[in-house]
Structure 1
Amino acid sequence: MGSLAVVLTVYNPSMPRLDISFLGTIQVSLNRQPITHFRSANNQGLLVFLTLQPEKPLSRELLTAVFWPEESDKNARNNLRQSLYQLRKLLGDLNEPAQPYLLVTRQTVQFNPKSDYQLDVRQFLQAVDAGDLETAVSHYHDDLLPGFTCDSLEFESWLRQEREHLHHLALETMLEAGRDCLQNGRYDKAQTIARQQLALEPWREQAHRQLMQALALAGDRANALNQFEQCQAALREELGIEPAPETITLFEEIKSGQLAPTATAETIRPPVKVRHNLPATTTLLVGREVEIEQISQWFMQDAKRLVTIVAPGGMGKTRLGTAVGATLLEQYADGVYFVDLAPLEHPDEIGTAIASVLDYQAPDKTKDLLPQLLATLSQQQMLLILDNFEHLLSPPPVPPDGGEALVSRLLQTCPRLSILITSRQRLNLASENRFELGGLDVPEWLTPEDAAQFTAVQLFVANGRRVQPDFVLNDSNVTDVVHICQLVQGMPLGLLLAATWLELLAPAEIAVEIEDSLDFLTTELADLPPRQRSMQAVFDYSWQMMNATEQAVLAKLSVFRGGFTREAAAEVAEANLRVLLALVNKSLLQREEESGRFTIHELLRQFATAQRLRLDAKNSALFAHCTYFAEKIKGETHKTAGFFPLQIPSKYAADRDNLHRAWEFALQDGLAEQLAALVPAIIVFGFRQGKQASAVPAEAVRALQQKNRANSDEALLYLQLLEQTSRFGTDDSSLVGEGLLTLVPFFEKQPYPELRFWLYLWLGLLESPAREAWYDRAHETALEMKDELFINTTEVIRIRWAISDEEKNEAILAKLQELRAFFEPKLTTPVLANSFVFHTILASLQEVSTATGAYEQAIDYGKRSLNMAKEWQDLFWLSDGFHRLTKTYLAMGLLDDAKLQYLDSLEWHLAVGQVWQTLGLLVGLASQFPEFIGGQTTAVSILSMIFHHHEVVVFHKQEIDGALPTVRAELEAAAFAAAWENGKGMGFDTAVSLVRSALQTGK
């Protein structure tokens, strides 16, 4: 029997009359006086049973069956009456208060949910439902009544299930709260929450990883590495296993300095280049070993290059495809990449989707993406998995000009590329090898031992144990389990969903429900093949088993593409963590363990979309989805207009499809504010793949003008400004200036000083005699707004120009220090964290410190600004940072340290960049610092290799042409010709190896 703790309380008029705690030991106090004289453990248990289920009255028959199952009906009813009398007496209900704690009738008993009471379990659950996870975590100080026993095994079984449910929910809540703290830079709190998880489960590997992250990001690398050792020891001792690959990868990242506070000057090594993006496993793969082996053999032994896995929806095509990809990882030197085509609406989008997955950045933004992508893929040995292809095929009998035409072009252009496709329909290409995927093996009539050998039964049982851990196949249920497998024809998704019903139904009842639904659907959906009718039956019944809240949430969640976060689900679908976890437990959602993102099977998403269209005719969910992502991007870019935060591509990579869906909806409905907010993200993602940046705001402007939006609308004006500023770097600067000048007269008539500020500032960025005048007008506008952020931003940009004009003196240094003091405390805010403006301050401080001889300080500033660029993983700013450090070390006379900067830059380019970007780095190295790589002869060979490489861009060729006259003057004609000819035959990898060796210290 659990112990009763004496509660010492201090009078507080705001406290409830009844205070109850079940997390840990039972603690009950009435009017601040502890209740300790329960007659028996059963009485305590009865209070627990009633208090934890206050939603509806419980019948007396149920209560007697739970607490006195061995007694006669008469004795059980008498025991219940006595127990209720004592509880009412202890709670003061015998005095007939206005709001008694127990509502007792001749048939039922209910704990009064409207009474004046406080329960720690209730506080925990209310905080979870409200999304206040940190408060929820603070309430959960122990599990539900651990060790409590009474005379009822039925009650103890119920209590054990409740305890496990709350324990699981608490751990998930702590995990999410810890994620929130890590994202918001609250590393101390994240450490506390991770330790709370480990107090409940010392072997919880996710909590160990969170603690490692929190320690590393707080700058405590030693303890972060030590935590890995503690994790390793706990896993070995408790579970007899080694840490997961994710934990080992995190350990290596911390060890190499990749995971560290960005503001530090500590060296951060480049990430290990990952050669795949295969999604994390969220569902079981049972019984597909033969299929995996056969498809893998087609690619490897039989040298087939195009395989299509063809099957109806729900058969497990995607899961099989990713399993094949994982098996073939070592066979493809350039990697295996999974491309989800479900969010696409037109075949023309396939190339962009592939480029996005590969993080391919087209070298020439003025040309079409696809030919450039094909040129790169033509040199690579790679496997592409194109998932959910069927809706991008040409409709028969039209000649193939849809997605299959692009597949054919890929195969013809890229001889070392292999493609694995999953589709409900074949492609009908001559080179296609179709693999018809059937259901899992289904038995006919067998003993439990025989049935357990069939893969369909194995999958049903394995998933059934997720919701009913003690579920086993036996003589009493084997017939019904086999019947279920037959009804869904071995379809994995059908088995997965049907197994979740074991929480409420016996196998016999599940079979009846599916069969009844099938009978109904036979007439309603006569045009569908039997397999699709069986899946529809499972979906329909799964839908009916959900409560109204779960139905509404799942329907709204169908608007997402490529998954979503808990925060997004809360804002768009009003889904709290409890509802999301309930949908996960019912296999209607999957959850990625590392990222915490939720995903939905494409077939289920389509079913849920149909429900949403029925329930939400006004598209409120789509509007909420669009507005949510618009606000997220606005939060990143507010007061940094035009200086798009460079972390957007990495921070929102998983939501690229969601952002584009939000953009399309905003265009369709003419949502000006949402369009204006989303532009920076759409520009960044499009520009990386090759889309002209200015085309994005121009498209939004046209959409709003078609909706007759007023020309003086602030959002429309902002978009017109971005249409001009996004031309920087691609169009002639004089033309950009002309475009901006046309806006000045109209902007100056409008009551939007912030827009005028940015217009003036951008005009100041142009190299023109009027530059200072435009800065002055920007500064005056900032003063008019009394906005210190804008005032100081103007000063930062003005000083940067002054430094480029060789104004590097103590006065400039003092002003920069003043600006740093203003901006640095604000780096914890989402807008300014890792901001371009602060990066500019650090870079400027480095250059001025170098010029004034303060070398050690210059190195510190240089490393800090470089680490910001490393977090962005933007190669332009990485190159700039390494180049600045090179010049500082050379000014100090430290040649070896200077060379190491280019070595590190090379490694970063190879890790996160494209070949053409690495070629650009080598152009600068060979032309500016030939002594770093052995002299002019080697430099000429490297330049020749670049000049003749198929991925060289026009700009790099122009740089080489500009550098060659100087090189020719220093080399004899014969030596130059020989070196140039040598470079023609040099491969990229050979050149990289040569340069890497030369850059090593002392070489």
Structure 2
Amino acid sequence: MTMLHIHCFGVPRFTVDTEPVRIPRRKSAALAVYLAVTGRAHTREKLADLLWPDQEQDKGRASLRRALSDITRTLGRSWLAADRETIGALASDLVQVDVTRFRTLLGMGRTGSLSAMEEALSLYTGSFLSGFHLNGAPDFDHWRLEQAERLDREAAEIMKALSERYMTLGKKGEALEVARRLAALDPLDEEAHRRLMDLFVQAGRRDAALRQYETCRALLRTELAVDPDQETEALADAIRSHQKPVKKQKPNLPISNLPAQATAFVGRAGEVTGLVERITSPEVRLLTLTGPGGMGKTRLALQVASLTADRFAHGVFFISLADLDAKEALVRELIRVFGLSEGETAHPMGRIADFLRPKKILLLLDNCEHLPEGALVAAELLEAAPHLTILATSRTRLMLKGEHLFALSGLSHPDIAKKAPDGEDLKNAETTYDALALFLATARMVNPDTELTSSNYPALAQICDMTAGMPLALILAAGWMDTLTPSDIAGEIRNNLDFLNAKMQDLPPRHRSMRAVFDSSWKRLTEKEKTALQRLTVFRDGFTLDAVAKVTGMDKGAAAETTASLARKSILRADPETGRFGIHPLLRQYTDDHLGDPGHGHPMEDAHMGYYLALVQSREKELTSRDMPACRRAMDADMANIRQAWLRAAATGALDALGRSATGLYAYFDMHTRYHEGEALFRPAKECVMDASSNRPDARLCLVLLCWFDMQTQGFPPKNQENAPCPGDEEARVERVARNTLRQAVSTGDIRGRAWAFLLLGALAHRRKRHGQAIRLFRLSLTAHPGIEHAFWVSLRIGLCLRSLGRIGEAIDRFRASHQWATRTGDHIKTAWAMGNIGSAALCLGDLHTAETCLKEAATAFRKLNAPIGMVISCEELGLIAFLKGDLEQAAALAEEALGVARASGFARARYQRAQALKGLILVASGSTDKARPCLEAVLETGLSRFSAHLAMVFCACRAKDRETATTHLAQAHQLAPKVHKTHLLLLLTLAQASVSALSEDHDEATHHLNQARHHPGFDAGLFQAWSMGTES
């Protein structure tokens, strides 16, 4: 698995699997760094202007393409997402950016983690991109300097905290080392020099402390022509006179009234870092932390306030508005907290303003939604006190001038759609997902033996998902871990919202259950908002304003006004960048319970079904065009709603809707190669169609079955077909539906019905390996309906059958025909598949030149379209060609790219075994037999790609002089040879036979097999390198 490291501290460096690599051009390296550090998509126009501002637009974009080519050639492609308009970096565990990791650790360090501070400091090896400058790119240099200044400040913050922590722990040597780095970071920072002097004294090294003072004085005189300030001189005098240094006393003020917390703060490292940065910015005087009840706003605000206390010279003060019922009550509370006398003036707000005016204070106003008049008080204070900063928490915006917003969502949690982690990934899950960490930390308070295991991980992930990472819900759920298992807890949450409650006496009543939390929010909604919310619960996950208008029947203006109002009250989550809204799943459950009316729901669910299935139908063409990446992202975002709509259509027998949207949905899952998920979604539709087909044979219904059957076939590789949910009796039912549809189509003259029925029957025959019968049926399908799109699929399927029969030349003709059809339709994904099949078939014939040309063209298209299965297959084939030519370095790079894409896309292991087997061959050829053996054994366990794996094991055993093992694997390879159609792989078999004969000292036999291979017309000189891995002679 290829690991990419991007090092931005100091001179930029790049490593791939610990091996340093160099990007040829400076601006290409700058682009790689910019994409990695920003971690999001940018328009091509913006990137071109950033790095080539003096070039015309066309030339700038051409320079950008060259730079992107430099990057992908050096660092690989799997970490980037690029389409015609944008380029961005993908989040991946296989890409490590030191700056990103540093900032994550900074947030953890602010919560007190010593190991996080130490790791962060180890990453800081110098200023950001120090010594790296670009000519003619002022905007990039400005961005670089901004990043460097910010990161230097953050590094200094870590150094100060770490040196103090080390001294507390008695680690004087470590404290001094960190303090030295702090003084070197900014040599003119007197405070850093004083810190180092003080540490020298504590370590008993007064002479070193005085030398540090002289160094500081010399630097200040040389650089600034000034002497050290009074505090530095006083410290030096105290050291000379052997007195204990007198630290500057801070004013005797009530610095903080922040309530102490009984439990440790967990997670939110990114949010903490972002909030600290914003609340200490001079431009931000009012920052409102918004989010629904139970999201952890108060706890996060307290954490941020405690971390920034030293930035506010006159104190940090906390006031909760939860129990205040009037503006006057808030004023009295302010007077009490500031220690003022209420009777000194008839105008208490004036007294408060006079107190605050000269002071730099942070005021934390908590639960502002409970007292709307509190916003007016905050506005008056901000106007009167120029140095006052207010951090507010509220379920709704305060709607004041100058208000900055920070919307809080749930804690990061596992994706239940992804495979459960194991090994090291399982161990790291608790630190990776904040929701998991909070649940486990809380659970251990009631059950100290709680551990994260592979058996309880799925249930814990479900709990985190059902609560959407809401901290209060997780705490309430974890409170049951003394009596229930994670699986039991997940089941209770699913069935009963009232399960999430607690009897803890120190929780306010409004936080003792999720129902109480939502009751509090519900009371603040108008009747119009309550009705709208009930309608909006029909949506799953995110939704757009257009969907709201068309599903609920509101006009666009009313829909915009309603969603904006609900978002301001934190009932809906709004994402300004995407224009999408979302509802917390527990709030949806509450609303369904609170206003549940089964009769009211059906029309809305039908409207929802109609809207999303029509959307799938309308996007079908886009999914196979150059706009595919953008279309696929849109469908990704809508998939939860599409899934719900499709399942409702299957449950209610909406056959027309199923038929119209089937091919669009099939195209989506096919692009993602999510065949198991696609098969599971198509299965209820298949049952619906088969139940209805006896009364209503229909071409579109036949098409639904074909989509399901293809998903089912693709989702279960050959070895696992016995586990596939399509046993013989099921196939027989599908066949009856196809034949009934065919009879109906013939009697009614339905051309499309005949075509789809023949195509389904052909697919059944292909699945049963009756390739000749399948070809005849596919040809009948093509004769019945020679439409362009239909012709592509039929020609492609015929070509696959011909290739399975070893009729490679005929197969190539069919693949070329499918390529022509795809080109005529402008379908880029189909064009790529056809070209890839031509190349693969040419490889079977031993025509390496044609194969390489076609496969490179296909691979380029697949990369542009970000089609992972196509990328994997084309890289596997191109890797084999490079191997056969003897270019082991290129072959290894292509095999790793295929494996990286497959794993990043979550493919089942059986889907990338050819690449794994190729990797094994390359390792053996490179002399790394120890690494090759476990790799090949893993391939052989799957029962797929066994031929090339057995060949590699032959050569591996020959190197180890293990004749018995070599002979065993050679016999296995001979048994599989009749099913292999690639000429060069069969030549490798001949060379493997030569190797075994040589190992047995049967040199005549070895020479015979070697001459057979050498005189074969498909023999390539590079093949000698492959053969040399098996024998030294």
Q: TM-score, with normalisation over the residues of structure 1?
A: 0.45
Tell me which of the two structures has the higher relative contact order, counting C-alpha pairs closer than 8 angstroms and 6 or more residues apart. Answer: 1
TM-score by length of 2: 0.43
